[in-house]
Structure 1
Amino acid sequence: MHKYSFVRTACAVPKIKLADCRYNVEEMIDLAEKALAQGVEVLVFPELGITGYTCGDLFFQRELQKNALIALEQFLEWSAGKKILLVAGIPLVIAGSLYNCGVVLNSGKILGVIPKTFVPNNQEFYEKRWFASSKSLLQLEITLLGQTVPVGTDLLFQNNLIEDFVVAVEICEDLWAPIPPGSFHALAGATVILNLSASNDIVSKSDYRRELIRLQSGRCNAGYLYTSAGFGESTTDLVFGGHAIICERGVLISELPKYNLGNELLVADLDIESLVHDRQLLHSFSDSVDLIKDKTYRRVTFESLDCKVYDGDVNPFPFVPGDPNRRSERCEEIFNIQTMGLASRLRHIGNAPMVVGISGGLDSTMALLVCVNVCDRFDIPRAKIHAVTMPGFGTTDRTYDNAVALIKGLGVTFHEISIVAACTAHFKDIDHDIKVHDVTFENAQARERTQILMDLANKVGGIVIGTGDLSELALGWATYNGDHMSMYSVNASVPKTLIRYLVKWVADHTKETSIQIILYDVLDTPVSPELLPPDENGKIKQKTEEVVGPYELHDFFIYQMVRCAFGPEKIYFLATKAFAGVYENTVILKWLKKFYSRFFSQQFKRSCVPDGPKVGSVSFSPRGDWRMPSDAHATQWLKALEKIQE
């Protein structure tokens, strides 16, 4: 999957026998063979895995040191011709001192030796009894098993196929330092950091360790592989659970359960392109490079096979957490952000009344719920909310009834103003045949509704609360100077797929049963602007997703393009994985073309959107997050999709 910058990595937790180097390396080779069969390109083993971490004073025994080298040579011989980067832990004597090292092997070569920098000597750890720190190392090269090998903490290993696939190594306690060596490695260009560890388990330590690794991967915008010693280590005083964790950009990708019996692999595919993209976005990353201005790094090239299969999980709903508890927390947080944003704006202008148009659909319902929450939180009478239902040519009984019931049920000021007469007169004024249901017919209704809201706001001395969402902004599915305009837009950075969960969250938590029933029915109503007359049964005829495509697809496209800056081919590939069995590939391609066409052609609408609170990592505010020329062309993006079709 190098075409899309995906690389397959793995942590290995072998079952060991203390001081039995031959046994240990055979177990390591067995795991390496399994990893190679799965297309793994980088494999990291625990700290001092060849001997075992808890050998104590046996580390000084020449017999153990000699047999560790023999075992390393066996591993090296096995690696000949095998394009996988292997990192094994071993005690090495260098210039008369003993070092706790990670040795990097690839295709029969020793690419480098990395000694541990921070050697713990407190509480249950007393490594300084045996090992020196890398800070005492004066040599840049050593001879190891007949090869001249670079040694030091200034080594980076760069893949021969992907320029930005750069690996660095640190060892256990290095991660726990105030400024881990991995931070410097990342600034020097490492995108994947490996940690050989032997971290014992005590109550709650694994929680702290997990969070430490996750945050370090986030700070470094890197992939982070951590693997710890496990079954077979001495339990005289400590227990080692064989904990293995893989994180990427602050997200826990995969984790091996503790207290396994060894011989386990934890495999995960990392996205190098996304790591580099985030580094480009964060100037704090590039501004920190001066921290390594006096440090020179050496780069060594390694070979790997291109794994042709991608096994990573692709979330079809990137804006919506899959875990119900996290989703509930996210909804609560977003609802509070919307509430505080609107409350702050109202306070700034003297707690003006709120005017909001209610259609009986999801977006306007969400906006009204935010307004009500502002009133309840800040002791503002709900009567200061002027909710307006404006039935037109396409209004159905279902949406009308829900709008009226919701407004009255929430106890806000109710207005019903039909737009039929005004639009009919307007069509006559501009000489438009009312029987021609074209864009003029549709947009005139949207603009009439906005005019009513704006004028009513002037009358009551209030502001119009916008209802449009992020997905509509991306697609330009809004009438220019119509429903796309307001004085404060509370849903502006909330995607359509998330709006649904927000409304459901409010419904689930409301104590008013009648309101709950209405909200659940709104959730079941098809998404529609209702600008065309209903069908013969009085049902909604104009269904948005039949025209522009499924919002779940478009929200996926939005996230991958705007948040990750992926190209069309990669987005298509990920979409086929995420929606396998839901949409045919041809359908995904069709709507991806529609997405690009609309996204580029509709920028002019995003360039002048009103203020609104940012709630997530994607926002189209022209003042903050998204700056794009309105006359940019989608030609290259569409050509890339044509290649897929061919």
Structure 2
Amino acid sequence: MGRKVTLASCALNQWALDFEGNLLRILESIERAKAKGAKYRLGPELEICGFGCADHFYESDTFLHSFQVLAKLLTSPITEDIICDVGMPIMHKNVCYNCRVIFLNRKILLIRPKLLLAIRGNYREQRWFSPWSKRSRKLQVYFATLPVNSIEDFPHIPHQNLLLCEKGECMQSSLCFCLLSSSHIGMGLDGVEIFTNSSGSHHELRKAHLRVDLVKSATVKNGGIYVLANQKGCDGERLYYDGCSMIAINGNIVAQGSQFSMDDVEVITATLDLEDIRSYRTGLSSQNTMVASLRCRIVINILLRFCQDNKNKIQTITKRKHWQVIFSFSLGPACWLWDYLRRSGQAGFLLPLSGGIDSSATACIVFSMCCQVCLAVKDGSMRVCMYTVTYVYDQYITRFPPETLPQGKVSICICFFLYSLLHKTRSTFYNLLKANRKIYHINLNIDVAVKAIVGIFTVVTGKSPQFRAHGGSSRENLALQNVQARTRMLLAYLFAQLSLWAHGKRGGLLVLGSANVDESLRGYFTKYDCSSADINPIGGISKMDLRGFIQYCIENFQLTALRSIMSAPPTAELEPLRAGQVSQTDEADMGMTYAELSVYGRLRKIGACGPYSMFCKLIDMWKGICTPQQVAEKVKYFFRMYSINRHKMTTLTPAYHAENYSPDDNRFDLRPFLYNSAWSWQFRCIDKQVTKIESNITSSICEDLD
């Protein structure tokens, strides 16, 4: 006979504190789930108020408005005859909890608080919420506050880690971090057949497979159905939540949502047979003896025919999706930019192009965003089409005919600002822009502005600083480079604010930064220079990944003009040419390679290494490449430069988070910004270890000679 059940998992692009928009997206997802025959609908974590409210969780307004939205959901005819599982903050006995609210036909069945809170990396949940620690079987009661109390037929609501049951079928709701804790194992032994998990998991390079593997392993150990719903889009912060909701049974993924999408609402469903779970578990005889010793949980019965003889076919097992790092790199930051553009209400972007890999990669990310927008419009996405026409397209309607909007890979929302001190890079980018004639650009030389600023200094002091190439000192050389870099930033913002005004168009442009994560770690940039911008799509991405992305764009976007950029040495372009050749390269200026910087960054942040422990690890990693003394000098030089420039991290442009070794100050990387750059004690320990190693090597050589 079988016991078929249809479940729905939703990925929603919820905005922090956008209660009106969040309500509409939740209702739309419920309506879609019902249309597909689902009897249970799961949404992402804190979907009512938005996941990234941060210190707004201290405000009573956030709780009040969340309850007002819940009241709207309870009274809506759309939510009838389907179990709705929504996320919102709840205050219980003057303590704040991150909760799931499960309701059916105007009645709240259960409030399920989060047991384990994320307090690492980008997450600070214990700053606002408390974990639910009452593991006893005693039932807690939550007394509903207005406006919900006026709707409920009973004055109190169960508030506990309980099970929902209907004639033998058993379900357990959980939140995000519970997937890592393997709490589902105990639940499965307790008879739970359906595990649900609402999540707020962000995109990160080389992370996509982890979520899939965790969901598969959650049910392969002792069977069951696992339903995962995830937030999608930019929630007002540096993170991009990549959706990818999924449903699994007995270790197999049967339904999986898209990882990157311009759609704000995505609903996946699966019709599964609960008998498959029971037959799977009967074969796990080694675990059956553990079930008898478990203490039974309190359950809440639900008055809904959960399993029914519907016409939906059993979901067939889908093939697992594979993600390439460069592919996700192409789409993640692009979707993040699109969300930021929509929420800021601006007409497009302005990018200062310098002629190197960093600014080229930023341009390609915007190009990728435009491709995704055009594809979404062509596929009939009304939200994307509405915003494109309202905020972006009318700025360029005189330049691009209406028929070009849905079809080509058109940069409909970008204005390029091109400047360069080097004729070689200028011609390279001219060829790049010429290849796509629908990109608007300005060719500007900033020499006049730089000379005017330096002239003011000369008038006041009577001194005229010179570049090193012209006989100047290192201090003069650095100061003149900084003047150029900061002049670029001033002009970028001037053109961003007034370019559209000059063409009789309304609105402004967002300035894009293009400093990569390695240069930020080293502090290889000028404070308040052209790296200072509104947002930076590559600020959390390494130079090595950027090079791979440029190659991907050459092959997939047919931007062949990028080949010469790939072959050119990275340079800041702030010093004059010498005999017509580039006299300055980034790696020479930094005193280390980009590959070395990535290693330093991962050991410092992910490996939690200080100078001494980093030296000890690199001795083994670089054995045969560097001597112990060379490793010591490299480590000491890195930490010296890192500590001298750490204060620059406080001025970093908000950047797309993509790497776990990001040095983003006071947000992801909680380290001081003022150090004693001598590191005397630590460096002395390194020197002693070098002496010891060299002494052992000498002794070993002498023994061999004897």
How would you bin the TM-score normalised by the shorter chain?
A: 0.3 to 0.5
Larger radius of gyration: 1
Return the TM-score normalized by structure 2.
Answer: 0.44
Return the TM-score normalized by structure 1.
Answer: 0.47
